[in-house]
Amino acid sequence: MTLGLVVIAALAQLYRGSAKSHQVTYTMARVGEDGRFAVDLLSSELRMAGYLSCGGGYASVASTLDTTDSWLYRTSGIEGYEYGASDIPNELDGEMRPGTDLLILRHASVDPERSVVADNPANAVIELGLDHGFQSGEVVVISNPSCTQSSIFQVTGLRNLSNPQAPSQFDAIEHNTTSPVNPGNCSASLFGSFDCDSPGAARSGAFQPGSVVSRFLVTAYYVTGDDPPWLARKRLGMENGEATVITERLVRNVEDLQLLYGRDTNNDGAHIVDDYVTADQVTDWSQVVSVNFGLLVRSSDGGVRTEATPQDFALPGKDIVTPGDRYLRRAFGNVIAIRNTLP
């Protein structure tokens, strides 16, 4: 009986050790999977920042959107906020985890991209062909084939130029200034480098066949203040025929997001990083040519680590000492060139 009890105790100890090892291995794999997914997502989005159906930063950019106050309707490809040192946009104030950063990216979508058949600037109508996929109220960007002009505007109506009697088929979009869509357009002219703070710089002109129209995507990435925290985003979308903010949760158990922005400050045209700074130190976002970002991801189960002791992690611009708990944590990150500002 004594030998039997010894054997049973040894087997029980072996089972507990094996179960603990399996739990740790599974948890590490899950944390790694979540972290890699978050890094890949942010990396791919950063690489698209500033894309307006043209590469490089040499096109004249116009915006007829009748507001420059909201983060949704600005034209810069990248923008960031440092918690506690920057005024967080109203839509995100109170939702962010204290001490974390906010990243806003803007670019044209690659799906759909529709080629211009004809442009009638006098009537503010652009013909794209049947089933172009755009809705009234959507914010879109148009770029000419030579990549010298990109313009952001809101679709104010739909037409069927080839068959005006067809009520449900449209081959053209309107961009006038009289439609009640929000925020609307301050100008029907789409040429020049201007926004609605300086509409006098707008010039009339026609986009030639072969120009491209795409949706204008605006996304804000942040960490929520919930428990558990999430990597989440707010994006410009459509609901009930109106442009609005849509909130989506992406990756659970992301505790922190920190960013440093690489600036080319000497205007030498080399697009080489001269320094890395936090968002509150950036005065001209067109100088940002690189982003160094880091994420801190924790396990779902708080009973993974053997010891409930603090851990030290270094994210870009911030050293973190975690609480003395038993969560398993891991830091992830990447450095991405903002390629649409490069030659």
pLDDT of residue 5: 66
| Dihedral-angle region of residue 77 (phi above 0 means left; psi in -120 to 50 means alpha; beta otherwise) | alpha
pLDDT of residue 104: 97
pLDDT of residue 303: 75
pLDDT at 45 over 80: yes
pLDDT of residue 142: 96
The listed range with the strongest mean pLDDT (53-57, 228-232, 270-274) is: 228-232
Rounded-to-integer distance, Cα 26 and Cα 14, Å: 18
Residue 184 phi/psi, 5° resolution?
85, 180
What rounded mean pLDDT belongs to the chain? 88
Sequence-distant (≥ 6) Cβ neighbours of residue 231 within 8 angstroms: 38, 221, 222, 223, 249, 250, 251, 254, 257, 295
- Residue pair 202/192 in contact (Cβ under 8 Å)? The answer is yes
- The pTM for the full model equals 0.89
- Residue pair 96/224 in contact (Cβ under 8 Å)? The answer is yes
For 192-249, write each residue's pLDDT tens digit: 999 999 888 999 999 999 999 999 999 999 999 999 999 999 999 998 888 999 999 9
Sequence-distant (≥ 6) Cβ neighbours of residue 325 within 8 angstroms: 302, 308
pLDDT at 63 over 60: yes
